[in-house]
Amino acid sequence: MADYPFIDIHIHTYPTRAIGMQAKGGDVGSSGYAGTPEELHPYMQEVGMTHAAMMNFTPVADMVDAARARLPKEYTPAQRRDAEEPIRLQMVGRVQNRNVWTCDLARADPRLFAFIGVDAVMDGETMAKEVHEKRKQGARGIKLHPEVQRISINDPRLYPAYRAAQEEGMIILTHTGAFRGTDGSHAHPSMGADVLRTFPNLKLILAHLGGGIYQKEALQVADAFPQVLFDCCGSVRLRQGGPSDDEMAALFRRFGVHRILFGSDWATGDPTPDVERIMKMPLTEEERRMVLRGNAETLLEL
């Protein structure tokens, strides 16, 4: 149990245990949970998590590929195009339904914040409309996972969502770095710089401090764009050969402690060891407070 009350800017929730386990590849991870609301509510109380932002996107790329693969091989190109449009619309509906569930969950519990998903299966008008509509339903941000969605952070197809989010004052949190064997080519932190040049007032969080392998590039983005934010999700965990507490504290200061937010990737990750490590790192009390809750309080307007 963490002895310090904290805000987790990066968790994942799922409607059922089966869906959560499927999303996690059958592995409960270090937390031991599948990510259902029934698990989350008592867990927050147990570990001292006062608020949490739910990063709920729908990974439809693999679903689209699977549905297309089931189409008859003898289809002509025209027949295939006609058959693929209902597939696309079905996937748009799945994204929208997941977003409704997430917003409903957040409205029922003031400790939770909904970060919805958008996807390239949406056309630009539908994407922008989804952002505006879900903001009215309480959504506070958008979650992107470029490696899973197979669309780069700076792909213009996402710009309608960025534009709508900037207009609404919503937050974008995007994965950066590699993921489950990918090379991170869709989630390079330098792509965030491209986005911020086009949308300078966008509230953009680059998750995982740039994704480890791209930390140097993430620091370059930090130097060039004082408005960019980062979460330390997955970066604080003790690893053999990883940075010492002194090195980790120095890295926080290099990025700028005032723009690092705590995240855990629950229900896969367990936030408690990370909170405990931050409490031991040679940071000032004010620096610890900023990372564990102060920066999130400002961003979420608590």
pLDDT tens digits, 129-149? 999 999 999 999 999 999 999
Task: Give residue-wise pLDDT tens across range 201-248.
Answer: 999 999 999 887 899 999 999 999 999 999 999 999 878 778 999 999
The average confidence (pLDDT) of the chain is: 94
* 159, pLDDT greater than 90: yes
DSSP-derived 3-state class of residue 126: helix
What pLDDT, on the 0 to 100 scale, is given for residue 26? 67
* 298, pLDDT greater than 80: yes
Q: Give the containing element (helix H, strand E) for 290.
A: none
Task: Give residue-wise pLDDT tens across range 6-30.
Answer: 999 999 999 999 888 888 776 666 6
What pLDDT, on the 0 to 100 scale, is given for residue 2? 64
Q: Which CATH class is domain 6-300?
A: alpha beta
Spatial neighbors of 131 by CB under 8 A, at least 6 apart, are 116, 118, 139, 142, 160, 161, 164, 165, 168, 170
Residue whose structure tokens are 């027949």: 79
Task: Report domain extents, the chain.
Answer: 6-300
- What span, in angstroms and rounded, lies between the C-alpha atoms of 267 and 225? 31
* 107, pLDDT greater than 90: yes
Residue whose structure tokens are 């970066």: 235
Average pLDDT (248-270) is: 96
Spatial neighbors of 203 by CB under 8 A, at least 6 apart, are 141, 165, 169, 170, 171, 172, 227, 229, 299
Name which of 279, 293, 269, 283 is nearest 2 in CA terms. 279
Name which of 300, 254, 296, 245 is nearest 273 in CA terms. 245
Percent of the chain with pLDDT over 90: 86
Task: Give residue-wise pLDDT tens across range 277-297.
Answer: 999 999 999 999 999 999 999
